[in-house]
């Protein structure tokens, strides 16, 4: 998984990321936001190997608001890839 940091997130350089694959929790990651781009990798659970579809859920440890935007924003994600 790859993404980039918003300048609004730089006051706190780390954010926790929790991912589940079909309800199976993967190890929690700490994403470092200070250098602009970030990348996190997870091992695929054995029960997910070979499946045609996976339901992934992502949860971050905190959110932020952009100026003039009332939405709860978490992480900017560019790529989610399964290899």
pLDDT digits 0-9 by tens, 6-57: 777 777 788 999 999 999 999 999 998 877 888 999 888 888 888 999 999 9
Q: How many CB atoms lie within 10 A of CB 21?
A: 19
Ranges of each domain in the chain: 2-79
Residue 57, classed as helix, strand or coil, is: strand
42 bridge partner residues = none
Residues 6 or more apart whose CB falls under 8 angstroms from that of 57 comprise 19, 20
Q: How many CB atoms lie within 10 A of CB 66?
A: 10
pLDDT at 79: 95
């Amino acid at each position: 998984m790859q993404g980039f940091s918003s300048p609004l997130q730089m006051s706190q350089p780390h954010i926790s990321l929790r991912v589940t694959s079909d309800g199976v929790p993967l190890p929690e990651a700490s994403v470092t936001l200070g250098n602009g781009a970030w990348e996190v990798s997870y091992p695929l659970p054995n029960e997910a190997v070979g499946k045609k579809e996976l339901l992934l859920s992502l949860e971050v440890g905190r959110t932020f608001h952009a100026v003039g935007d009332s939405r709860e924003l978490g992480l900017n994600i560019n790529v989610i890839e399964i290899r």
